[in-house]
Amino acid sequence: MDRQPKYQTVISWVQEMIRAGELKEGDRLPSENELCRRFSLSRQTVRHALEILEAQQMVVKVQGSGTYVGDGGKDKERPSYKNIAVISTYFDYYIFPPTLHGIETVLSKAGYTTRLAFTNDSVHHEKTILKMILERDDVDGIIVEPAKSAMPNPNLELYRALLQRKIPVLFFNASYPQLGQPCVRIDDALAAEKVTDVLIDAGHTNIAAILNAEDGQGHLRYTGYLRAMWKHHLRTDARRTILLDSDMVQDLKTVAPYIMQCLEGVTGVVCYNDELASQLLEVLEGRGIRVPEDLSVVGIDDANIAMIKDLSSIPHPKEALGRKAAENLLQMIRDPSFDGNYLFDAQPVLRGSVKRLESGSVLK
């Protein structure tokens, strides 16, 4: 399932025209006004698309003259090193091992060596890794999970430097939207909407959400939670939208009193992911609150911990996402105009953590 932003329509059209030979190096693109009319888009949206194309070196803007197909419109030979850099926030727990295994399997089969690096969700570590890649300049492409993707990032110029060298960059799980680079991920908003619907369909109306405020997935999952609540005309308020930083998400007990205060009067909780949901179950158990008898809880990702804790969740693609990310990057190497974006859809998995309010039975 692939949803693309409006500006991508212009980007895809220009890329296709170049690929088909309808636009050649030095050709002038239609004006911004003409593109607005052609695609029924605002000037701001068209301008954003052209800025992304310029960052990708597909086009060149000439002051007072227009926008022209530039050197990026032609395939310039870059040496093949048979190396792919893979940058992940974490490695050895949760959903990361199968995702990285999927990436490595596809790259290895295609004859590429995988160079793994880990940021621990730190932009400082990300900066060090990107500088090293630029200094060595011996990779054919990069697959990367951004660090704290919802926060201002100081490393965007390093990514732009990589793109200027015609090194394709593909993000997974989340991206830095300022770069306009493709991303392979689950449809986070839809996933959160679906697990919130599970609670609503079981009769819950007083539903809270506990989310990570520092990454793009958290923001999208917040959108999905709101979408589900609003389509059922249910009330949301700031107290029931619990936004945490990454350190709090890693150790929920540090903010347990605050969490419990926010959950007063709530019968259902949507958790940012299964790891956070598992921690919440421990906090609740320590206070004698039973799940699902007293409080229903749903997570996202369907990690192993969800099966162990009998937690209702929705699956992250894990290894399939890793394979798709690697496949798309390889296609981007072969064809720089290829759109590497991909969205995975999924359906909730019901276990023993949600109670039907009317009957009191467990929803499975």
DSSP string, 15-27: HHHHHTTSS-TTP
Is the domain defined by 83-181+318-344 classed in CATH 3.40.50.2300?
yes
pLDDT averaged per 10 residues in sequence order, the chain, 364 residues: 78 91 85 93 92 86 74 61 96 91 98 97 96 93 96 92 90 95 97 98 98 96 98 94 95 96 97 97 97 98 96 98 98 94 97 94 86
At 64 the pLDDT is: 58
Q: E strand or H helix at 257, and its extent? A: helix 256-262
CA dist 244 and 246 (Å) reads 7
CA dist 333 and 327 (Å) reads 10
At 27 the pLDDT is: 82
Domain ranges across the chain: 7-73, 83-181+318-344, 188-308
Contact 270, 296 (CB under 8 A): no
Is the domain defined by 7-73 classed in CATH 1.10.10.10?
yes
At 123 the pLDDT is: 96
Comparing CA positions, the residue from 72, 138, 121, 127 lying closest to residue 248 is 121
Residue ranges of the alpha helices (H) in 24-122?
A: 32-39, 43-55, 96-109
pTM score of the predicted model: 0.78
At 47 the pLDDT is: 92
Buried b / exposed e over 204-231, threshold 16 CB at 10 Å, is beebbbbbbbbbbbbbbbbebbbbbbee
Q: Is 121 exposed, middle or buried (CB count within 10 Å of its CB: 0-12, 13-18, 19+)?
A: buried
Q: What's the CATH number for 188-308?
A: 3.40.50.2300
Buried b / exposed e over 16-43, threshold 16 CB at 10 Å, is ebbeeeebeeeeebbebeebbeebebee
Comparing CA positions, the residue from 96, 100, 104, 119 lying closest to residue 304 is 96
At 101 the pLDDT is: 97
Tokens representing residue 146 in the block? 């951004």
At 71 the pLDDT is: 56
Gyration radius of the chain over CA positions? 23
Domains 7-73 and 188-308 share a fold: no
